[in-house]
Amino acid sequence: MALLDRAEWYDIARATNWTPKYVSQAELFPDLMTGAQGVPMEKWEVYDEPYKTSYPEYVRIQREKDAGAYSVKAALERSRIFEDADPGWRSILKSHYGAIALGEYAAMSAEARMVRFGQAPGMRNMATFGMMDENRHAQIQLFFPHEYCPKDRQFDWAHKAYHTNEWAAIAARHAFDDLFMSRSATDIAVMLTFAFETGFTNMQFLGLAADAAETGDFTFASLISSIQTDESRHAQIGGPALQVLIANGRKAEAQRLVDIAIARAWRIFCILTGPSMDYNTPLEHRKQSFKEFMQEWIVGQFERSLIDLGLDLPWYWEKMIAEFDYQHHAYQMGLWFWRPTLWWNPAAGVTPECREWLEEKYPGWNATFGKCWDVITDNLLNGRPELTAPETLPIVCNMSQIPICAVPGDGWNVKDYPLEHEGRLYHFNSEIDRWIFEQDPARYRDHMTLVDRFLAGKISPPNLLGALIYMNLQPGEMGDDAHGYSWVEKFREPAKAAAE
């Protein structure tokens, strides 16, 4: 005799559905929290998680993973990787930690909702590990940047960002609250684990780990790949839930949730990852453009997993793919232009060599975005930096909470997609953002964008200084050009030569 194999007892550990007697099924599983879409509990019992693990395996493997990640950190603590890294890389770290650490903690609450209100025992058990994973991801992504606090005040934002009204933090909260924090257990399985994690984060983390290794930041590389191994397990909670929904005639509802989630995830990745890959990552370390990355991972891989599950591509698929060409370039201009409103220092990423790379990867870049950067570059060359600073307010999308923007210059396609609902006029960046609103206006109706708050007199004084105070940004934390504008010098010699 010896120990039993997991397979001999695994099914018993996930046979835990029962019929309540002292309360009603509807009291025990309120629809608001459960979101079962009318599929009865026993139909969920076919749910079969593809990635199986058990408690003793979990604590052993996770202990080993942590030992690995923390020992890499300890070993490299006295190295000068941080000091020697390109400032653009430090900006990636700051924007990443600020936008992600507490978002991961929020995902713990979402996993907890699946543990409590999921309809399938296998889902509730897997979500228990998922909840633990997200606890890990929040803690480890707070502990690592904490080390940098004494070196740079902007690292305080790894913890602070979500507690502020900084505009990118508002955008992140709006997206994550909508994607999972305020959703039912079933919605979370579909939107967070399937659409967001399988579709985006899993792949994003792979890419980020490779970039970190390329840059020489092995602490971050090992951290991110370690997190990714958890993600690839708990991301698989969503697939079988989708299968149950589809098998029980709820394909249209499932499709709608997937479509909303992908659209919301796309905006987040577009503003966070797009500028990181194509502008902040030093040119010599770039492997792929953001567009190539999206084509390979989202179009190539995720498209297949949608089809394999019996879902269709979202109705806006071609529109979204068209955005790969321009939307993140527009966001990059916004990030850099409104740089005092960030908790990191954005790299402009537009030296002559960078521009050559951008033109090669995105033909037409020079005639569109390049023209705006020409003006900025000229102003900086001519000693008029004040002209490169923001003075007015953008129009902010009522869905993404990001300024409405698109292609400038020769390819001009900037357009507001308005909607009047119950007497209020809303503005959207695209047909896709507007469509999300229309799916459930009550979720979004009385939310105010940062600009709405400004116009409503909630921000004083009503100018940039007031806005910065409202966003909790003081000098010493607010962003500026990552390289201290040194890149402008690369244009000075050719400009002089041309003048002569």
Partner 1 sequence: MSEPQIAKPLKTWSHLAGKRRKPSEYEIVSTNLHFTTDNPDAPFELDPNFPMAQWFKKNRNASPLKHGDWNAFRDPDEIIYRTYNMLQDGHENYVFGLFDQFSARGHDAMLEDGWARHLARLYTPGRYLMHTLQMGSAYLSQMAPASTISNCATYQAADSLRWLTHTAYRTAELKKTFGDLGFGTGERGIWENDPAWQGFRELVEKGLCAYDWAEGFVALNLVARPAFEEAGLRALGQAGRHNGDTLLGLLTDAQLADAERHRRWTGALVKMALETEGNREALQNWLAKWAPLGDAAIDAFCAHLPDSPGAAQTAREACAALRRGYGL
Binding to partner 1 in span 372-401, by CB under 8 A: 401
Can you tell me which of 150, 383, 423, 457 binds partner 1, judged by CB under 8 A? 150
Alpha helices in 161-302 (DSSP H): 167-176, 185-188, 202-215, 218-234, 238-247, 251-275, 290-293
- Site residues for partner 1, window 152-171 (CB under 8 A)? 152-153, 155-156, 159-160, 162-163, 170
Q: Give least dist CB 212 to partner 1, A.
A: 21
Please identify, among the stretches 193-201, 232-240, 278-286, 440-448, the one whose residues bind partner 1 according to the rule CB under 8 A. 440-448
Can you tell me which of 71, 79, 109, 301 binds partner 1, judged by CB under 8 A? 109
Can you tell me which of 94, 124, 250, 329 binds partner 1, judged by CB under 8 A? 124
Closer of 135 and 248 to partner 1 (Cβ): 135
Closer of 22 and 420 to partner 1 (Cβ): 22
- Written as six digits, the tokens of 90 are 């430090």
- Site residues for partner 1, window 399-438 (CB under 8 A)? 401
When asked if residue 1 is in the footprint of partner 1 (CB under 8 A), the reply is: yes
* 406 neighbors 397 (Cβ within 8 angstroms): no
List own/partner pairs for 371-377 with CB under 8 A and 24 or more apart.
371/408, 371/409, 371/410, 372/333, 372/408, 372/409, 373/333, 373/348, 376/337, 376/348, 377/350, 377/488, 377/491
Please identify, among the stretches 108-116, 205-213, 236-244, 481-489, the one whose residues bind partner 1 according to the rule CB under 8 A. 108-116
Q: How far apart are CA 39 and CA 20, in angstroms?
A: 17
When asked if residue 459 is in the footprint of partner 1 (CB under 8 A), the reply is: no
Q: How far apart are CA 138 and CA 449, in angstroms?
A: 27
354-384 per-residue burial string, b: 16 or more CB within 10 A, e: under 16: bbebbeebbebbbebbbebbeebbebbeeee
What H or E segment, with its residue span, contains residue 41?
none
- Site residues for partner 1, window 166-205 (CB under 8 A)? 170, 173-174, 177-178, 181-183
- Site residues for partner 1, window 5-34 (CB under 8 A)? 8-10, 12-13, 15-16, 18-23, 27-28, 32-33
Closer of 32 and 456 to partner 1 (Cβ): 32
List own/partner pairs for 430-438 with CB under 8 A and 24 or more apart.
430/319, 430/323, 431/316, 431/319, 432/263, 432/316, 432/319, 432/320, 433/263, 433/267, 433/397, 433/398, 433/399, 433/400, 434/399, 435/263, 435/316, 436/260, 436/263, 436/264, 436/399, 437/398, 437/399
Q: Give least dist CB 2 to partner 1, A.
A: 6
For the chain, how big is the Rg over CA atoms in Å?
Answer: 24
Please identify, among the stretches 2-10, 86-94, 241-249, 284-292, the one whose residues bind partner 1 according to the rule CB under 8 A. 2-10
Residue type, position 443, single letter:
R
Can you tell me which of 51, 54, 412, 424 binds partner 1, judged by CB under 8 A? 54
When asked if residue 116 is in the footprint of partner 1 (CB under 8 A), the reply is: yes
When asked if residue 446 is in the footprint of partner 1 (CB under 8 A), the reply is: yes
Q: How far apart are CA 435 and CA 126, in angstroms?
A: 33
When asked if residue 70 is in the footprint of partner 1 (CB under 8 A), the reply is: yes
Please identify, among the stretches 119-127, 316-324, 402-410, 420-428, the one whose residues bind partner 1 according to the rule CB under 8 A. 119-127
Closer of 178 and 278 to partner 1 (Cβ): 178
Q: How far apart are CA 107 and CA 57, in angstroms?
A: 22
Can you tell me which of 38, 40, 50, 56 binds partner 1, judged by CB under 8 A? 56
Can you tell me which of 38, 48, 128, 315 binds partner 1, judged by CB under 8 A? 128
Can you tell me which of 383, 475, 493, 497 binds partner 1, judged by CB under 8 A? 475
Closer of 60 and 287 to partner 1 (Cβ): 60
- Written as six digits, the tokens of 138 are 């929040």
Can you tell me which of 36, 108, 335, 482 binds partner 1, judged by CB under 8 A? 108
According to DSSP, the residues that pair with 78 across neighbouring strands are none
- Written as six digits, the tokens of 413 are 């396609």
Closer of 33 and 321 to partner 1 (Cβ): 33
According to DSSP, the residues that pair with 427 across neighbouring strands are 418
When asked if residue 445 is in the footprint of partner 1 (CB under 8 A), the reply is: yes
- Site residues for partner 1, window 129-148 (CB under 8 A)? 131-132, 135-136, 138-140, 142-143, 146
When asked if residue 477 is in the footprint of partner 1 (CB under 8 A), the reply is: yes
What H or E segment, with its residue span, contains residue 418?
strand 417-421
Q: Please choose, from the candidates 194, 327, 173, the residue with its C-alpha nearest in 3D space to the C-alpha of residue 257.
A: 194
Q: Give least dist CB 452 to partner 1, A.
A: 13
- Site residues for partner 1, window 78-107 (CB under 8 A)? 102, 105-106
